Structure 1
Amino acid sequence: MSSLPDPTEAVASSVHLPTADDAADIAPGLVALRRELHENVELGLDLPITQKLVREAIEGLDVEVSTGEGLSSIVVVLRGGARRKDSTGVVPAVLLRGDMDGLPVTEATGFDFAATSGRMHACGHDLHTAGLVGALKLLHRDRESLPGDVVFMFQPGEEGYDGAGKMIGEGVLDAAGPRVKAAFGIHVSADADLGVAFSRPGPYMAAFSKMTITVTGKGTHASRPATGKDPIQVGAMLVGQLQEYVTRRFDIFDPIVITVGQFNGGTAPNVVPDSASLVVSVRTFSETVTARAEVELPQLVRDLVAAHGLNADVDYESVLPPTINDDAEAEFFLSTFADLFGPERAVRRANPHPGSEDFSRVLAQVPGAYGHFGVALPNLPVAEREANHSPRARHSDDGLADHALFLAHLAGRRLAQLAED
């Protein structure tokens, strides 16, 4: 795939982009917003307080704002003052995304702004939201020089609700008129060094699928198992056989990770039950392996169970596709960060991240890139850092200015390049 122009070229063009001093000016307001969001965390697709706080934070800006019909999303379109058509005959647009929902986790960070509701921004989406507000404010200052438009995607429901897919269904990719030409997002990491960014070309995060298995046999007395058909024994066999199958049938360099997260069966120690159930997490990193797993794993389960004379009902759900960065856009992502903050702070991952992310829905439809940004507390020893989703995940807001500045430059520089095409 062809590479994009050097991102520093956009800085030398007629596009005026924000400076570190500009970002420092708005940082106190972003920190205050982040902490208010953190205290008022909401879950899922319905985030009325969060939506209100974001709308208040961008009030008075010369932008187009719309809210979702089936979810508490916000889509903001910033129109450039120097809009011009690219080689395809349209005014280009670039999308920036920040997700806004939290998790059902009881917070134990010790922050004086900690949530007390049994919900927590344990994945740092409060920072994503504040950082995206910051990027909007920075680009708004220089909007008269922008040769295209920027779409800001404030998304609910990333934590298992497919908010990205729902926003795409409501038209976020076409909010500026023509479909966006590129899309970017960044995710904070509570256990990574403050101010360091990570990304890579190609597969970046895993697809997530869920396989629910019900093994049905014949119950009997536990002292006479031969008179029944034991679903627990066969289910236990599946736990091992699934692991063995993937190590022998799938390439270790295009891997599949299987975890049996739930195994339920039985009511008493002296009873062989009629049935047992397993719920399996399946992580894959390419579309080819994702498709293979969907066909092969249910068939494997049915065949193995049938070999023992029992029946298996298998429900295989493809929850999210893999997050696959466009090669050129990922290089642009890393180069832009390196140009702004120094090459030592822009890290190319050797391997994909094993988590899953619904920004994959966006990258399946438009070129773009996704990465991570370290926000560990500056003086916290590495051994005391806890990862996202922990009740003790402590995300620093010291990186918010850089977060906002980076997003603003991704959009501004990419628009400058698109306008030159």
Structure 2
Amino acid sequence: MGILPIIDESTAELTEIFEDLHAHPEIGFTEVRTAGIVAEKLRAYGVDEVHEGIAKTGVVGIIKGKGDGKQRIGLRADMDALPIDEQTNLAYSSKNPGVMHACGHDSHTTMLLGAAKHLAATRDFDGTAVVIFQPAEEGLGGARGMIAEGLFDRFPVDEVYGMHNYPDGQPGKFAICKGTAMAGASFFDIHVQGRGSHAAMPQASRDPVVIASALVGQIQSIVSRNVAPLDACVVSVTQIHSGSAYNIVPDTATLAGTIRYFKDEVIELAEARMQDLCDGFAKAYGVEITLDLRNIFDVLVNDDSLSDAYMEAAADIVGAENVSDDAQPATGSEDFADMLKVVPGAYCRVGHMGTMPLHNPGFVLGPELLPVGASIMARLVERRLPIGA
């Protein structure tokens, strides 16, 4: 079958949309311009209903098929960018200093717009397609925000699907991991309240830099000595902040980082051990240490049968030889997991040219992905809601 005709004819338009979104990235919950473009395009494509302002900047479109079927399929894309200075030198590189689409959400938005254009034009399905454009996926709780504001109460769906680009240099390769597919994640902040002094008289201090540094090392023992070897867990300290001068022992130090996991009992163990370490260090050094630990992402679990349905739709577009279910679980996280806790569905990844990793200032997305992803999502709706079934 290959790329769907309407989408194929719209490739230049989709590329233009993608490059415009890439050049004007917006951080989570501030995607005002992006959401405005999405709503404008959906209306221009003849989408039946367009709803804006869900979780601040979220947009939902409703597309009714030719029949009177009651089944409803959800397709979701995220819209937010990252706080990164772009270093690609692309002609359409970011015009917003310190903000970049380094994870491909600009392509996700574009592909779902392409799918919506096809579905609204052809209506070759019996039921309803719900296209969901979500804000703030990058750790800011956009999915939870939309759900809390009644996403699936106002726009109920029987199944929901998401897609992510994958910079593996293999354009058109579709991969999915059945079952547990992506890690859950917690973020943490640790505040060490010590006692400052002159750096030449450290005996008068309770040095938070020394304490925080020792704590970083001991936090690594959670994975190496507390979590069972066959249970995956990642604990990373990613920030250390303290001090203001060469000759001052500071009063405070802060640490921040993340925990990734696949089992509830693993995150419960890791969080308990981190609290024990903070309490123990506070007592040992005679300081106050506070731990702020919060869950940000749930574990993403793909439904087995709906993963099969996704692969069948992808095979129609890229060929069965380019479709696999052998993707390994990823320790990265994705807040589409929150939607999958409410509605069954599946999340896939599709390869494209370029091998610079996600979240890198030099990341470049291969635009050949745009009509491929759009066609897969549109075809999925047609397969799941066949006319005359």
> With structure 2 as the length reference, what TM-score do the two structures score?
0.90
Name which of structure 1's ranges 328-337 and 127-136 shifts more when overlaid on structure 2.
Answer: 328-337
Post-superposition CA distance 1:285-304 (Å, at most 9, x none): 23332333333322232124
Q: What does residue 297 of structure 1 align with?
A: 274
Gaps of 5+ in 2: none
Q: What does residue 149 of structure 1 align with?
A: 128
Matched, 1:399 2:369: yes
Letter in 2 for 1:390: N
Post-superposition CA distance 1:149-193 (Å, at most 9, x none): 1110012222232222222222222344xx311111101123442
Q: What does residue 279 of structure 1 align with?
A: 256
Letter in 2 for 1:140: A
Letter in 2 for 1:314: L
Q: What does residue 186 of structure 2 align with?
A: 209
Aligned partner of residue 108 in structure 1, secondary structure: coil
Provide the C-alpha distance between the structure 1 equivalents of 2:168 and 2:362, rounded to a whole number of angstroms.
11
Aligned partner of residue 88 in structure 2, secondary structure: coil
Superposition map of 1:37-52 within 5 A? 37-52=21-36
Superposition map of 1:3-402 within 5 A? 20-58=4-42, 59-84=44-69, 91-118=70-97, 119-143=99-123, 145-176=124-155, 179-220=156-197, 222=199, 225-226=202-203, 228-377=205-354, 385-402=355-372
Per-residue deviation, 1:409: 1.9
Cα RMSD of the aligned pairs, angstroms, is 2.6
Post-superposition CA distance 1:297-327 (Å, at most 9, x none): 2223212432344332111121222222223
Provide the C-alpha distance between the structure 2 equivalents of 1:294 and 1:414, rounded to a whole number of angstroms.
41
After superposition, the Cα gap between the structure-2 partners of 1:369 and 1:62, relative to the gap in structure 1 and judged at 3 Å, is closer
After superposition, the Cα gap between the structure-2 partners of 1:290 and 1:333, relative to the gap in structure 1 and judged at 3 Å, is farther
Provide the C-alpha distance between the structure 1 equivalents of 2:17 and 2:320, rounded to a whole number of angstroms.
30
Post-superposition CA distance 1:21-80 (Å, at most 9, x none): 343122222122212222232222132322232233231514111111551221001122
Provide the C-alpha distance between the structure 1 equivalents of 2:77 and 2:319, rounded to a whole number of angstroms.
24
Name which of structure 1's ranges 94-103 and 270-279 shifts more when overlaid on structure 2.
Answer: 270-279
Percent identity over the alignment is 33
After superposition, the Cα gap between the structure-2 partners of 1:215 and 1:41, relative to the gap in structure 1 and judged at 3 Å, is closer
**Count of residues in correspondence between the two structures:** 387
Q: What does residue 384 of structure 2 align with?
A: 414
After superposition, the Cα gap between the structure-2 partners of 1:28 and 1:175, relative to the gap in structure 1 and judged at 3 Å, is farther
Per-residue deviation, 1:235: 1.7
> With structure 1 as the length reference, what TM-score do the two structures score?
0.83
The question of whether the paired residues in 2 share the 8 Å contact of 1:210 and 1:319 is answered with: yes
Per-residue deviation, 1:113: 2.2
Q: What does residue 6 of structure 1 align with?
A: none
Q: What does residue 13 of structure 1 align with?
A: none
The question of whether the paired residues in 1 share the 8 Å contact of 2:125 and 2:381 is answered with: no
Letter in 1 for 2:25: V
Post-superposition CA distance 1:57-108 (Å, at most 9, x none): 2315141111115512210011222123xxxxxx221110111222233333
Provide the C-alpha distance between the structure 2 equivalents of 1:291 and 1:265, rounded to a whole number of angstroms.
29
